[in-house]
Structure 1
Amino acid sequence: MLVNLHTHLEGCVRPATAAELAREAGLPEPPGGWDAALRMRERADLTVFLAHVAAAYPVLAGLDGLARVAREAVEDAAADGCAFVEFRVGPSTHAGLGRPIREVLRAVCEGVADGSAATGVPAGVIACLLRHEPAPANDEVARAACALAGQGVVGLDVAGDELLYPALEPYKDAFAMARAAGLGLTAHAAEASAAPAVRQAVESLGVTRIGHGSRAADDLALLAWCADEGVCFEVCPTSNVLTGAANDLAGHPVHRFLAAGCRVVLGDDDPVTTGVRLGEEVSRLLSEGGLSPGSLDRIAATSVEVAFCPDDVRAGLRRRLAS
């Protein structure tokens, strides 16, 4: 059973949809077309990877377009065989005149709800604070996420270029607000920066899940602490290879996470950017990564338990897992 707990809406934009939305907005086609602009084909680093994701931003300037992309993202996840999916989005990126942050987030929630209704696949939205954004914008994202808790928003995250903006302290108040609203808490940490960022995120922000965390794999004491604390790593294999956070799937940090007893779940991060969706990620982990079917069963069981979802959805996932 596929449960996708780490995928970014901005990295899910179909190239054909990007082209259509661009034409409607009078935007020029990028050199080589939208597929070339959105897809990263060679290994580089996190900054280059994020530039490919950002290529979709200009076509996400309208609320209707955001809702459409969100609906299509659920449809694509359903076609991939996902039983549940959480979509991350950075609302401040798409806000502007006539598009307040809360309305951007609402449009995404409405699109996700439409996709779930059409496919039968439950899904939630995680609002992302962005490291490069000023504090007032991130505070507004947190307030909007709290206002829409229970109306599609299920969690809060902090994402962005960890190399250029490593500090986590600026987000403490926003995460405290989200925790009080009952939202799930996760943070991108140690994807590009050093291993201690994982413990900092847990202790200063109160997160239960870590996005990527690849650099933590070499710190055995930290992994032991994460196992004891129940910290869960959201692993995105192909993305980690493309950004240089992992050399290949056979040597991917997921093996060390599991060996240390850490909780692990899977995501496809930005499937249009990587060209790989979650179903193929799982197949590659088996064939190229050497991961055992038993380990994948363990990951699936963990995914059900740590997903940011309502109790009835979790109960349904448990039944599917047991069948």
Structure 2
Amino acid sequence: MAWDDFRLVKAVADSRSLTGAADALGVNHSTVFRRLGEIEKRLGTPLFERHRAGYGMTPAGEEMVALAERMERDVLEFSRKLAGQTLTPSGEVRVTTNDTMLLYLLRPVFVSFRAQYPDIRLDVVISNAALNLSKRDADIAVRPTDNPPETLVGRRVASLQWALYGRRSEFGDAVGHAGLDPATLYQRPWVSLGDQFSHFKVARYVRDHVDPERIVLKVNTVLGLTEAVEDGIGLGHLPCFIADQRPDLVRLSPINPDFAPGVWLLTHPDLRASPRIRAFLDCAAAELVKLRPALEGERPFRREPALA
């Protein structure tokens, strides 16, 4: 049955006459009479009893009018919400990211998001593997990548810049100074990302320039890599937004833009119109743009020639 059928039956019930219903609906008397007869025929039962005082509802008519009133209330409530912009996103959003992004980047994002959208719950999944957003393993992925999957949509909010770092106790504060001979640095112990990160340009750089015997430690997390450099195990390339917060580390080279993957907010095309997904993407993008200077390593230091 169509919504117009319910409206017609309710109009007859409200006015107790075909003429009153016709006036309310903006149609003529014969149209109401014909359509009411068609509705009763389809239902196989009368909806009204005709008598001198007007049209009185049968039990079936009362049921239909009650349903029509509920439908009308729901439509009106929805219209009010839209008019008053009170359609608040709610539910759960599942976000996948890695441990580094969570600890150093997304905490202020989550704080801001929860303050703006208290009716949305966050389920954060920490993984260095790319979860399948098509299968709803997660709703949103926050990832550093050069090549986001073609099956996903999203936005690049910043570049994640890397540079070479070592212990301040060994190199002092003369960041990137001319005395750092690349050939000498290549003879030192190095730490690097594990083979599962071979698609990162910074990992390929170490593999191509440093003798394998000099790479004394490989690790599959950026946090582990950072700790290894800070502990003096070896030199290593690190994201500037992490390493620059560590007072025991010093930058030994200028930023190499070729190493920088993008920081992406990604979701499945079928989810991007969801109010709660849209709310998180917009909030996260706004917060991450504020952190762009740190992500892109914009802090004063002498830009000497990079390692060859």
TM-score (norm 2): 0.23
Q: Which structure has the highest strand share of the two?
A: 2
TM-score (norm 1): 0.22
Q: Which structure has the highest helix share of the two?
A: 1
